[in-house]
Structure formats: C-alpha cells, structure tokens
Structure 1
C-alpha cells in the first residue's frame, strides 16, 4: 500500500508540474481570446463597430479589448455573454473578471486560473473515490488503492492537462462535476440537511459553469431512483428538493438561454454539421484513446489507442462483476447518460455534438474511475501489473510531448501565428491588412509587436454586426511608406482571392506559415502596373 501511495504521489507531483510550467507556450487561440473579451466586459460587436470606419491602427488598439478597463463592470461581462455567447453560463467568466484585475491579463495569468482549478480537481477526485469505493465498502486497504490510482490517472491524463492550460471554463467544470458527484454520494450516506445543501450548492455551481451539467444531473437522478427501485423514499425526496433548489437558482440564466435560442444555434452551428457514421466512430475512438495516450496520429499511436479502447471495455466489465451495484451503477450512469444523450441525436438527426470531448467530461471521468478500479485490482498480479505501468507511463510521455509543443489538437485555429509573426517582423516597414474574424485578429495580436500597423475590417462570429467597409477599395490606395504589405485571412475561399485580385492592382502570393492552408499572403504589383514612388526608390537605390 505504501508503495502504491508513493508512486501515485510521484505521478501527481509530475502532473502538477506539467500544469503550471510554461503556461504561455501554446498559442493563445481563437476561443481563448473570447474568454479575455468577455472577462474584460466587451462584446464582439463593439470591436467590429470600433474598426469598421477606422484608418490604420496598431496592434495595441486591438489588445485594448483583451484588457480590463476601470469603466467596465461585472455587469458588462454578464451582458456580453447574454447577448452573444449565451451558451456559456457566467460563473467562470465572473471569476476571470476579478482574476484579470487582481492578477493580470497576460497569457500566463489567464491560464493560471484554469490550471489552479485543474489542480484542485485532484483532491476532489480523491474525495469522490473515497465516497464511492471506501465509504460504501469500508475495505480501506483495497479500495484506497483505487482512490490513489484514480488521482494519478487524472494527474497524467493528457486530456486534463490540455484543458488545465486552456483559458476556458472546462477545468472548472471538471472540478464542479467531481464535487457535485462526491457531495451526492456523501448526502446519500449521511442523509442530513447540511449534506443535501452542499449537493445543491455544488450542482448550482456546475450549472453556472456549463449547460451540459443537466445531463449529469439526469445521471444522478437515474442512479438514485434505481437504487431506490423507483420508490419515493426519504432520500429520493431530499434529492429532488436539492436538485429543485439548484434549478431554481439557475433560472435567471436559464431564462436568458430560453430567449436566445436562435443566437445559440447560430454560434454553435458547427455542431449540426452532418458527418458520416464512419467519421463519427473515428472521432469517438480518438477521444477515448486520447484520454490516456495522446502523442501524435501515427499508425503506431492509433494501435495503442485501439488497445486502450479494448482495455476500457474490460475495465467496465470488471467493475460490474467485482463491485456492488451502488458502486458500478454510478460509474455507468455518469458515463452512459452524457454519451447516449449526444450520440443518439448525431446518429438520427445528424450533427457533430458527440465529437467534442469537452462536452463529455462527466463521461470521461466515469471512464477514468472504471479504469482506476481495474488497474488497481491487477497490481497484485505480477503477470498483469505491467498494464498499469504502461497506462501511467503512456500518460506521462503524452504530457511531455504536449509540454514541448506550441499547439495541439484542441486548438484547431491559429497554429501558424508564430510563423506569421516571424514573416511580418522580418519586413522593414510592414502593413497588415485583414478582414478576418475578430477572434483570429485578437489571437494574432498576442505574437506581434504592439506598434505593428494594421488596416482591418473585422468580421463578427457571435454578433450580427455587418462589416460596413470592405478592404478592397483600401488596397487601391495603400500609403507609399509601407514596403511590405501582408494580407491576413485564415480559412480563405477561392471567391475571396479572386475578388482581391480582380479589384486591385496587386496579385496575392501565399506565404508559407506552417499551416496546411495559407493564412498569410503578400501583395505584389501586377507586372503591367508600376508604382511611381516604388520605381523612384528603386532607381535611387540603384544609383
């Protein structure tokens, strides 16, 4: 037992180091800039309005919308979320509002908050496992191994590391999910007013962190009703009262959600993209494998992840066969309910909701609990203990790989920002022109010098604010002092490129910036047109 605790503490310590080391290394990407925008109390519409009629500005002007302002209050943060990002409840953003004023608004500071929440998840997982395995069976020697194993798995899970270093609410949701589930088990065991009040508070906090807490609450209810054989016992009544209190406390934001359904569907429209069943299955397999092992996407890595999926199935079979119903049923419920609630609509109606791992955090935690029980149980078997070592080592190696990278799969946009910045910074007198989405521009602003000149007409993603002026007319009248003119436009279309070339005296040449699709172009004069001032400069230089 002491050896298991010692080894687990080593992995936990390494997990903590990974969470807090080099928080600023990964690109501060599209979605994270929205966190800073909301936390600072601004809306995306304000950015579009600010720059829709402006002339040349600098990066510093963009960065204003990522920083706190004395006139921006907490109510502005709530308003920003309510009108543009209603699907995100305000708890994390409210905490971030205070954090960026008291601690700072740098990339390191903004990511430090979720890293702290991720670290606090460790003792929360310990409590959950104690309530689930130890508190119910009283077999402390054997079941404490499961408790320590679960914490170690979470500590070196590449999935949890990625969201620990992401300035978004998902590490907080992980923590509140664990706390709500642990407090439910304690309330069932103790059955006191205080214990059920604690459950109501933790469930409310989870509701105000992410809307899909509703799926976890359903899983809790099904678990409790199943244990009570669907009778209205005293415990069931207490649960219903606590859950009702949590829902009532959440009603103000729930009403906001109800009045902004159209806005939510617009912003989350990507989840309705129809994908084939084969594509969905491939995404689900990657999600499960990446929970424990996530290095790259080679054939060997896929084979390892396939083996992990088989092991997950074995772990659930072992859990159901070897533990009492009150233990295995909870794990099955918190895993199965969220998965089925997202997979079934995708299969029947079309969509990609179930391919977003962050939406399935409660289910992934359930998988880790099942795996922890299985790995702890085979430690006594010399023939099979190598599996435990391999899973923990695979997680550790994955964390090392992620730690050394500049971006990862959870940041699908802006991975080429550093390469773009290097190209722009090499120019003597650069000008960056763009009609990109505001979040792309904000992300790029973190890697360019504050005095870099810009001419931008941002496009809105979460608002209906139109771009009142196109960039094409401006390209015809670029000031002569800029020697290198760059065009920033992520995810371009052929129509967009043709319109630029057709309406201006320039051709656009893509520059290698590291991504699969170019995001940066350089404007070059067409061969038949010449620019007098440039020609004069060239002649003077030749003389």
Structure 2
C-alpha cells in the first residue's frame, strides 16, 4: 500500500467550472495572434530545415555581394517540390544534429499540407502544446493520486506565460515539454504495474522524447536516480526479485531506447565539429551578476512575465515573491509527501539544473541561463506549486483554504495578464538576436530609398531572413560573404540615400562614415543607419 500524499479527494464546487474556463482561456492565448511576433532567427532555421534548405546554401546564393529583394530571401523558406522528405532529414542531420528530427519531420508534412506561412508553422507548436494537458493530468494522478492536485496543475499550466510563449514558437520545445510529462508519467505507471506493456509504454515515450530533444537524456538520468533510490536493494536473489525487477526493467528499457537513437548518433558524431561550432555560444561565460539576474527572471516566468529584461527597473521586486513561493513549495512537498513523491520531483528538477549549472560554475558558460534548456525544472516547480496550493485548498482550516485560494488567484491573474500583454506584442525576450527587428524594420520602411547591408557572420544569415519578413517590397539588401578583419566596403549605388548596417565590424563601418562624411545613428542592437544624402 502506498502512503497517502495528504490531499483530500473532495474538490470545491466551483473548481471544475473555473478549471474549464481557464483551459478555454489558455487555449485561446495559444492560438491568438500567432503571426504577430517577429519570426526570429531560430524559427527561420526551422523553415530552412523543413523545406530542405541549408545555411550554407543560403550563404552561397544570397550572401554573394549582389543586391536582392526581401522576396529573394523568402525563397529559402518555401517548399521546393524537387526536395523531398528524406533529403530534408538528411540535411538537418548534417547541419543541425543537435536538434533531433521528430519535430521537423512532423513539421515537414504539416507544411506540405497547410503551407509555410508563419501562423501555419507556429500552429503546429500550439496544437502540440495542448497535449500537455492530458499528459500533465496523468502524471499528477500517478504521482499524487489526487484529482485536485491535477486540476490545480492544469489551471496553472493553462495560463503559464512561459508555456504559452513557447506554444507560439516554431521550434520543438512545446512538444518536448509534452514528451517529458508523458515519459515521466509512463515511468511511474511502469513502476506501479510492473508489466511488459507498461514498460513498453515508457520505452516508446522515452524514445519519442529523445528524438524530440536530446536533453531528454538529462531527464532520463533523473529517472535512473529515482528508480535506484526507491529500490535500494540490488540483490538478484529470488527472494528479492520484485524489488529488483524495476531496476532490471528500467535498464533494459532505457538501453533499448538508446539503441533506437543510434541512427541519429551517427550524425552527431560524424558532424561533431558543426555541432560544437553551432553550440559554442553556450560555453561563453556571462558576468556573474548577469547570470544571477537571468536565472532569477527565468525561474519566475512560469507564473509572471511582463516582457521584462534584466535591466528593467523594479523587476526583481515583482519576481522575488514568485521565486520564494516556488522554493517554499519544494520544502512543503518534501515535508508532507512520501519519498516516492518528493524524490521524483527533485530528480526531475535537479538532474537538469545540476548537469547544466555545475559546468557553468567550473569551466564557464551560460547553459543554466537558457530558458528552453530548463523546461524540466519549470515543470517540476509547477508540480510542487500545484501540490502546495491543493493542500491548502483541501485543508480543514479556513485560514489555509483562504490562503490557497489567494495564492491560486494571484498566480492565475498574473498569468492571464502576462499572456494578454505578450499576445499583443511584436517582440518578446525569447526572440534574442531578433528582438529589435520590428523596431529596425519600421525605421527602414519609413526611410527613402533604403538598402540593408550585412554579411554572413555568425547569426547574421538567420537574422537577416528574420528581418526580411518585416520589410517592404521596395527595400533592397546587399548581403556579403563573411567580412575579413580589414574589409574594403563595396560601392553603394547612388540611388540609395539611406544605408542600414546589421552587425558589421567597426572598422568597416568607420570606412563608410569617412566615405560619405556622415555619422552613424544606432537604431537597434548592432544596427545602424547612415544617410548618404542630407
């Protein structure tokens, strides 16, 4: 018999109606204004992948010094009937092996059926995010054996600003969150049932999650620690066989999952230098204060997100209560539930947090500040917070019931307000290098005879394509190969009276200023305007 988690099965009369209403609101937020926010750098690469184009092809054909239009760049975001599914997956393995193919395989067929518009591609993520709800509900029933906890968790998830934000992004992270919940619930189900069918369900769900995002491996490490911890005896004697059956079944199932992943390991190890080059940015250290500020913001965004950046005044007074609530929820969980419950949540959070955070502290890097990498941590904290609120709501004491209702209301209201604000925005903090593109595009479009100059350095190709979605037809682009340290600026035709530069070397920009005897005006992050005719 399993020890109770202490949550009464009774639910307040209003609870079901409120939950249904919040689920409807959450669904609306996931689909409203899908194309409003800038289609940023990483999403551009999604379109490259699913249309069987590559960065090298884009650079070779578009960044060659010729003057082109925004529409010319869009050709690399459109379906080519001569490029099929297997070519798309093969090219994805060559240039982007750190991102497994499952999401992109689904997105390929999605685009074939429904097209390649921004709203269409993003709608796949929005739809996949809806699968989070049944998976979360199942996990809560397996873990807490309480429909009240499951209901509270669904309510918080429905209006979670972080989850809604990534449900509107053309990347695999919303699907990854779903598969994390699915394989976590399947593991608890397999441990409880101890049948071949149950372990097969876990194995398949683990494979699906690994083929969605490789950091599922961190979650699997947490799963393995959990299985070992709740089965402390490792004797293979017949009298202890039942205890060890979980361990043996887990080892066999996870080994099979890794074997099934071997075809993708081929791409990872064969093109390891490309993987290292494209992920090198994560090993660049940030100032300690910046890392601390980013981490604080990240861990509050499951419940409140008004688009603040680390330099926003007063933001930390806003988020500290949410951080303290999550910390207290972990303490409450550990002190009020049996080992099998609190250890599962802690291993879900800790396996990812420690494996990402410790290398940052020892060898440097910014892995722990990347929000999408921390999705397992956010899910674990949402589980512990849901348990805390459910415990208060089911308390025999009126004070704690009122406290639970007040905290739940605060989280839900802050989530709804955050989602409402985000739904009307043209850009948000998760757009990173493309954050300023809407502002830059407005200035370019409002100028007379504009031309945009950039090169193929680092993130520029993807970011220029991102910008092209926002530019008018009359805008022209002069895109160059990656500029050397001592460049010679190209001649700009006299018809262009406004030159805009995106992320070019300072000595290159200085030569333009000298040539036109005009100063540069900063119009965005690493973006400048130079007027050739005053």
State the TM-score, normalized to the length of structure 2.
Answer: 0.89
Which runs of structure 2 are paired with 1:307-346 in the superposition (5 Å)?
307-346=321-360
Partner of 1:160: 163
DSSP 3-state at the match of 2:493: coil
1:390 aligns with 2:393: no
Among 449, 456, 466, the residue aligned to 1:443: 466
Could you tell me how far apart the structure 2 residues matched to 1:64 and 1:432 are? 18
Q: CA deviation at 1:378?
A: 1.1
What per-residue deviation string (whole Å, max 9, x for no partner) do you get for residues 181-236 of structure 1? 11111111222212111111111111111111111111111111111115261122
CA contact (8 A) 1:457 1:471 kept: no
Partner of 2:508: 496
Could you tell me how far apart the structure 2 residues matched to 1:458 and 1:18 are? 41
In the alignment, structure 2 segments of 5+ residues that lack a partner are: 1-10, 237-243, 395-399
1:23 aligns with 2:34: yes
Among 487, 502, 505, the residue aligned to 2:500: 487
Q: Which stretch has the larger CA shift, 367-376 or 79-88? A: 79-88
DSSP 3-state at the match of 1:488: strand
What per-residue deviation string (whole Å, max 9, x for no partner) do you get for residues 89-132 of structure 1? 11111111111111111110111011111111111111111111
Partner of 1:302: 316
Could you tell me how far apart the structure 2 residues matched to 1:190 and 1:117 are? 28
Q: CA deviation at 1:151?
A: 1.0
Partner of 1:12: 23
Partner of 2:3: none
What per-residue deviation string (whole Å, max 9, x for no partner) do you get for residues 307-330 of structure 1? 111111211111112112111111
Among 190, 194, 215, the residue aligned to 1:191: 194
Could you tell me how far apart the structure 2 residues matched to 1:291 and 1:453 are? 41
Q: CA deviation at 1:52?
A: 4.3
1:170 aligns with 2:173: yes
Could you tell me how far apart the structure 1 residues matched to 2:99 and 2:330 are? 32
Could you tell me how far apart the structure 2 residues matched to 1:66 and 1:230 are? 55
Could you tell me how far apart the structure 1 residues matched to 2:505 and 2:489 are? 19
DSSP 3-state at the match of 1:405: coil
Among 111, 127, 135, the residue aligned to 2:122: 111
CA contact (8 A) 1:16 1:119 kept: yes
Could you tell me how far apart the structure 2 residues matched to 1:507 and 1:230 are? 77
DSSP 3-state at the match of 1:337: helix
Call closer, same or farther: CA 1:470–1:445 in 2, change over 3 Å.
farther
1:226 aligns with 2:245: no
1:423 aligns with 2:426: no
Q: CA deviation at 1:304?
A: 3.0
1:92 aligns with 2:103: yes
Q: CA deviation at 1:277?
A: 3.7
DSSP 3-state at the match of 2:53: coil
DSSP 3-state at the match of 1:175: helix
Could you tell me how far apart the structure 2 residues matched to 1:471 and 1:74 are? 40
Q: Which stretch has the larger CA shift, 407-416 or 119-128? A: 407-416
CA contact (8 A) 1:488 1:521 kept: yes
In the alignment, structure 1 segments of 5+ residues that lack a partner are: 135-142, 460-466, 528-543
Q: Which stretch has the larger CA shift, 125-134 or 429-438? A: 429-438
Could you tell me how far apart the structure 2 residues matched to 1:260 and 1:12 are? 43
Could you tell me how far apart the structure 1 residues matched to 2:414 and 2:304 are? 6
DSSP 3-state at the match of 2:518: strand
Among 151, 154, 160, the residue aligned to 2:154: 151
Which runs of structure 2 are paired with 1:247-258 in the superposition (5 Å)?
247-258=258-269
Could you tell me how far apart the structure 2 residues matched to 1:108 and 1:470 are? 42
Partner of 1:519: 527
DSSP 3-state at the match of 2:530: strand
State the TM-score, normalized to the length of structure 1.
Answer: 0.88
Could you tell me how far apart the structure 1 residues matched to 2:182 and 2:213 are? 14
Q: CA deviation at 1:28?
A: 0.6
Aligned length: 503
What per-residue deviation string (whole Å, max 9, x for no partner) do you get for residues 112-164 of structure 1? 01111111111111111111111xxxxxxxx2110011111111111111111
DSSP 3-state at the match of 1:432: strand
CA contact (8 A) 1:47 1:458 kept: no
CA contact (8 A) 1:434 1:456 kept: yes
DSSP 3-state at the match of 1:290: coil
1:68 aligns with 2:82: no
Partner of 1:535: none
Partner of 1:367: 381
Q: CA deviation at 1:451?
A: 5.5
What per-residue deviation string (whole Å, max 9, x for no partner) do you get for residues 419-469 of structure 1? 33333333454433332521111101111234543222254xxxxxxx699
